[in-house]
Amino acid sequence: MTAKLGVNIDHIATIREARKIREPDPVTAAILAELAGCHGITAHLREDKRHIQDRDIRLLRGVITTHLNLEMAPTREMTNFAIDVQPDMVTLVPESRQEITTEGGLNAAAKTDDLTQIVSALKNNDIRVSLFIDTETDQVKAAKKTGADFVEFHTGRFCTAFELGSTAEFERELSALQDMVLLAQKYGLRVNAGHGLNYRNVGYVASIDGIEELNIGHSIIGRAALVGMDAAVKEMLAAIRRCER
Q: What is the distance between the alpha carbons of residues 151 and 169, in angstroms, rounded to a whole number?
A: 23
User: Residue 14 region, left (φ>0) first, then alpha (ψ -120 to 50), else beta?
Assistant: alpha
**Poorest-pLDDT segment among 57-66, 97-106, 127-136:** 97-106
Is 195 assigned a catalytic role? yes
Burial class (CB in 10 A: 0-12, 13-18, 19+), 164: exposed
pLDDT recorded at residue 244: 67
Catalytic residue among 11, 34, 39, 44: 44
> What residues are paired with 8 via a beta bridge?
42
% residues pLDDT > 90 (the chain): 92
Residue 193 in this model has a pLDDT that exceeds 90 = yes
Is 44 assigned a catalytic role? yes
For the chain, the distance separating the N- and C-terminal CA atoms, rounded to the nearest angstrom, is 6
Q: What is the pLDDT of residues 103-148, one digit of tens each?
A: 689 999 999 999 999 999 999 999 999 999 999 999 999 999 999 9
Catalytic residue among 11, 39, 154, 195: 195
Q: What is the distance between the alpha carbons of residues 58 and 62, in angstroms, rounded to a whole number?
A: 7
pLDDT recorded at residue 245: 55
Q: Supply the Cα-derived Rg of the chain in whole angstroms.
A: 17
Fold of 4-241: TIM Barrel (3.20.20)
Catalytic residue among 34, 71, 136, 213: 71
